Amino acid sequence: MIEPDFLHTTRTAYDSMAARYAELFANGLADFPLDRAMLSAFADLVRTDGGGPVADLGCGPGHVTSLLHSLGLDASGVDLSAEMIAIARTAHPDLRFEVGSMTALDLDDGRLAGVVARYSIIHTPPERLPQVCAEFHRVLKPGGHLLLSFQAHDDPAELAEPFDHKVALAYRWSPDRVSDLLTETGFTETARLRRAPLEDERQFPHAHLLLSKASTP
């Protein structure tokens, strides 16, 4: 199958700067208390519902996968970039990491109790987002939880606004429109956090959406 250009471009870009990206997160999410709070709430919900495998999609160097593991989850990571996966495997040899794409996951239907996608949809062209949401829905079991994080914008008339990202063309998203799309896909929003940018995060707000897949198929 021919790979879409955006996947090739994103992979190549992250392959070339994987080591530098990993250095940025050498402290994990120590500087992101609100992001940690949402990940902790996600982990609580998954555990309360009986646990099960959780995938960190677009895991980069694996710092979030490792945090999910420390929160008691059976967490593994998937990333487009083989360099990111090599770094993640070296840094966290006790955890599983695989190369793959959120657009077509090598996972059975209903396999997962939870999915985290932290800033990994940001290079997905808006017309491809429904395909990614459908993959999240397919791989989650009924009642499974999704935590989706991204740079946000406040114009609900636009699903996405492109911005000039350091790595590759990226999009910030309307939380309302993304939530609507996920609702159409079969999710229900549980909670959301909109936080102000930190000092070195430019001036964009950040959104964290927590949703669950309907319990009855």
Binding positions for ligand SAM, rule: CB under 6 A: 7, 10, 14, 25, 57-60, 64, 78-81, 84, 101-103, 118-120, 122-123
How far is the C-alpha of 82 from the C-alpha of 144, rounded, in Å? 28
Q: Which lies closer to ligand SAM via its Cβ, residue 62 or residue 186?
A: 62
Q: Which lies closer to ligand SAM via its Cβ, residue 106 or residue 142?
A: 106
Q: Which lies closer to ligand SAM via its Cβ, residue 9 or residue 190?
A: 9
How far is the C-alpha of 72 from the C-alpha of 89, rounded, in Å? 19
Q: How far is the CB of 216 from ligand SAM (least distance, A)?
A: 29
How far is the C-alpha of 62 from the C-alpha of 45, rounded, in Å? 21
Q: What type of residue sits at position 113?
A: A
Q: Which lies closer to ligand SAM via its Cβ, residue 21 or residue 190?
A: 21
Q: How far is the CB of 78 from ligand SAM (least distance, A)?
A: 6
Q: How far is the CB of 153 from ligand SAM (least distance, A)?
A: 17
Q: What type of residue sits at position 94?
A: D
Q: How far is the CB of 9 from ligand SAM (least distance, A)?
A: 10
Using only the alpha carbons of the chain, give its radius of gyration.
16
Spatial contact of 155 and 186, defined as CB atoms under 8 Å apart: no
Q: How far is the CB of 117 from ligand SAM (least distance, A)?
A: 7
Q: Calculate the CA 52 to chain-centre distance.
A: 18
Q: Which lies closer to ligand SAM via its Cβ, residue 156 or residue 201?
A: 201
Spatial contact of 90 and 77, defined as CB atoms under 8 Å apart: no
